[in-house]
Structures are given as C-alpha cells and as structure tokens.
C-alpha cells in the first residue's frame, strides 16, 4: 500500500469563554468542584448563529493552507460531529460547498467523542488502498446548544470548537496508520445519549439520568467514568501489542479530552511523562469529536511531533464507542 501523511492541521474555537466562575452563577456549582473532578477551567461557547459548518470551515482552511493543498484537490470531507445542523443534508456537504471543494464527497460521521478518530481511520484506509489521495477530516461541535444549563452534572463538562486535518498520500510506505481499532457497544447507549423526543426515554428507567429536557445530553457520569478507565486500558494494551510498538517508543498520545482523571489513569497505564500525553481539557472542556483534532493541531504547531514519530490517537464516547489509531508520522 501507499504511505499516508497528515499534511496540515487547523483549529477554530469560538471567542466566547465560559469560566467555572461564570457557571457558578448559572447552576449550583463552584470552581473547586469542577477543577478537582474534571480538570476543566474554561470552555468556549459558540455565538448564536455559529454552526459546525462555520467552525469546521475555519479549521479546514487553516489545515489546507498548511498542507498547501487547494480545496478543489480534496476527494472527500468527513465531518465527525454529534451536533450537525440538520439530519439531511449532511453538514459535511455544506462544508464542502463553503470551502469551494464541490464536487468532493461529503459525509457526517456519528460516533460522538470517538468520531474524529473513526474518521481518521477511514481516511487512512481509503488513501492507503489508493481510492483517494486527499481527504479532509474534521471534528466540529456546538455542544452548548444541546447542553441543559440547569443540569450541573453535565453542563460544566462540555464546550464548542473544531479541529481539522488534511490526510494525503505519501511516497514513503512506512508512514501512516499502522494499526487501528473501531469498536461499539450499543447495549450501553443509555450511558450517554441525546433524546430527540419522549419515545427516546429508556422504558426501564435509567434512574436519575434523564433530566426532562429533550435535545439535551443525558449522561450517567459514574458509569462512563468506569467504562472509560477500563476500556482505555484494554484498547491501549491491544493496540501496542498488535502493532509491536512499545509505550517507550511513543512520542505522543493524543487522547479525547473527557476528564482529567480518566486521562491521568491512561497516562499512568502507559507509564508516560506528561509531555508525551496531551492534555488541554483545562482550556476547552470536553468538545467531543473536536477535542482530538484541536489537541493534534496544538501539538503540531508547538513542534512537539516530528517526522517518523509514533503517535497514538485514542477516544471513547457515546454509542458507546471507542477507538484507537496508531500512526508513524
């Protein structure tokens, strides 16, 4: 197969910052609780008319600039999001049109927080097999529109933003995605869901989870926490074992930013120093599908990833879903 490379990355976050202090004036919470339990200090909130298409387009333009690739060279754009503007058309199709990339293929990918890493895996496979040469992969969310700001158990966690990467073919066949996993367990959908109407409320209860406001994220925090810690450990072990790459050899891990304590558990498992395990949840909160590409862009921009480095992407989210992608840059 051909080699695959991340030729450019970009990020776009809304200007408006919502601090823990701000939240403490909206719900019964405080900075100490949020910081200790989650590691989050602030998150970004989209302006009233700002959509995943707006944020995604800004992030993608930066990625294209960096990659020195014109929009019309894109074969496909995959937009990972759980907050698309409409069910149809896809926000990806709107994004392609906004970028001036018509007639590139377009699809939204729904895998909650795992979405961007799923999309990266698909892009790598399509390029490696020769079916595409340039793919735009975007993670974009306006979660503040689907957060219940009367529910302190969830509203402190989430934020808005977008990140993007241009994935291209590369002459060096050693470069690219070395191993990938994409998993789900739909039996456990109740742990994190976004009900659209009454019929979506679990019949057998899921006590204390549903707060009564439709179109808002419902989450069983404790169960997700346990699931995240155990699943992350198992999938990291599998990815390293099957790829033959040791944790010592990893230059960087870029995980979905769900909760500082979940992340610290994974870092400890890998026995990695803080500088090799990317954490930016303090500044953005959990931005679901946007968190991995935002972190990726920051790491690349700060020069922390070099050619030939082994980089591990890792995410878990609603579905439930979980995924890894191990790259040689």
Q: The tokens 């990291």 sit on which residue?
A: 236
| Three-class SS state of 294 | helix
Q: Which stretch binds ligand ACO (CB under 6 A): 94-102, 169-177, 203-211, 221-229?
A: 221-229
CA 122 to chain centre: 15
Q: Which stretch binds ligand ACO (CB under 6 A): 32-40, 160-168, 200-208, 299-307?
A: 32-40
Question: Cβ(139)–Cβ(256) under 8 Å?
Answer: no
Phi and psi (nearest 5°) for 167? -105, 125
Q: Which is catalytic among the residues 256, 259, 278, 297?
A: 256
* Annotation marks residue 197 as catalytic: no
**In whole angstroms, what is the distance from residue 57 CA to residue 66 CA?**
14
Q: What dihedral do alpha carbons 235, 236, 239, 244 form, nearest 10°? A: -150
- In Å, how far are 41, 139, 142, 162 from 321, measured between CA atoms? 26, 16, 20, 20
Q: Is 258 in the site for ligand ACO (CB under 6 A)?
A: yes
**In whole angstroms, what is the distance from residue 296 CA to residue 256 CA?**
10
Q: 269 to 328, contacts with ligand ACO by CB under 6 A?
A: 286, 288, 317-318
Rounded least distance, CB 101 to ligand ACO, Å: 28
Rounded least distance, CB 175 to ligand ACO, Å: 29
Q: Which residue of the chain is nearest ligand ACO when measured via CB? A: 221
Rounded least distance, CB 289 to ligand ACO, Å: 9
Q: Is 29 in the site for ligand ACO (CB under 6 A)?
A: yes
Nearer to ligand ACO, 3 or 221 (CB): 221
CA angle 87, 150, 110 (to 5 degrees): 25
Q: Which is catalytic among the residues 20, 113, 177, 278?
A: 113
Nearer to ligand ACO, 83 or 288 (CB): 288
Candidate list 145, 153, 188, 304; residue touching ligand ACO; CB under 6 A: 153
* Annotation marks residue 297 as catalytic: no
Rounded least distance, CB 274 to ligand ACO, Å: 20
Q: Is 224 in the site for ligand ACO (CB under 6 A)?
A: yes
Q: Is 189 in the site for ligand ACO (CB under 6 A)?
A: no
Q: Which stretch binds ligand ACO (CB under 6 A): 53-61, 102-110, 196-204, 220-228?
A: 220-228
Rounded least distance, CB 204 to ligand ACO, Å: 21
Task: DSSP for 97-138, please give it.
Answer: HHHT-TTSEEEEE--GGGHHHHHHHHHHHHHHTTS-SEEEEE
Q: Is residue 31 classed exposed, middle or buried when 0-12, 13-18 and 19+ CB atoms within 10 A define those classes?
A: middle
Which pair of tokens denotes residue 57?
Answer: 């387009």
* Annotation marks residue 113 as catalytic: yes
Candidate list 79, 113, 119, 305; residue touching ligand ACO; CB under 6 A: 113
Question: Cβ(105)–Cβ(133) under 8 Å?
Answer: no
Tell me the catalytic residues. Answer: 113, 256, 286
Footprint of ligand ACO (CB under 6 A): 29, 33-34, 37-38, 112-113, 152-153, 156, 192, 219, 221-222, 224-225, 228, 258-259, 262, 286, 288, 317-318
């Amino acid at each position: 197969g051909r080699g695959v490379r991340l030729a450019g990355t970009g990020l776009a976050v809304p200007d408006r910052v919502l601090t823990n202090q701000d939240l403490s004036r909206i719900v019964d919470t405080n900075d100490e609780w949020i910081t200790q339990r989650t590691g989050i200090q602030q998150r970004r909130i989209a302006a009233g008319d700002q959509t995943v298409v707006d944020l995604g387009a800004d992030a993608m333009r930066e990625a294209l600039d960096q990659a020195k690739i014109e929009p019309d060279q894109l074969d496909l754009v995959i937009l990972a999001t759980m907050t698309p503007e409409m069910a149809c058309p896809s926000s990806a199709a709107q994004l392609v049109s906004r970028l001036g990339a018509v007639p590139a293929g377009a699809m939204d990918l729904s895998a909650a927080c795992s979405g961007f890493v799923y999309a990266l895996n698909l892009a790598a496979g399509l390029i490696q097999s020769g079916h595409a040469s340039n793919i735009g992969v975007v993670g974009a969310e306006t979660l503040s529109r689907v957060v219940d700001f009367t529910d302190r158990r969830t509203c402190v966690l989430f934020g808005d933003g977008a990140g993007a990467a241009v994935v291209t073919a590369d002459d060096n066949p050693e470069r690219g995605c070395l191993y990938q996993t994409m998993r789900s367990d739909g039996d456990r959908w109740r742990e994190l869901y976004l009900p659209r109407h009454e019929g979506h409320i679990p019949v057998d209860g899921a006590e204390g989870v549903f707060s009564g406001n439709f179109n808002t994220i419902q989450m069983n925090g404790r169960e997700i926490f346990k699931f995240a810690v155990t699943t992350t450990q198992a999938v990291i072990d599998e990815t390293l074992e099957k790829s033959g790459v040791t944790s010592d050899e990893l230059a960087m891990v870029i995980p979905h930013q769900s909760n500082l304590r979940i992340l610290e558990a994974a870092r400890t498992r890998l026995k990695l120093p803080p500088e090799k395990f990317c954490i930016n949840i303090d500044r953005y909160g959990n931005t679901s599908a946007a968190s991995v590409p935002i972190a990726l862009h920051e790491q690349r921009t700060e020069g922390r990833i070099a050619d030939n480095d082994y980089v591990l992407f890792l995410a878990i989210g609603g579905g439930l879903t979980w995924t890894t992608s191990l790259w040689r840059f």
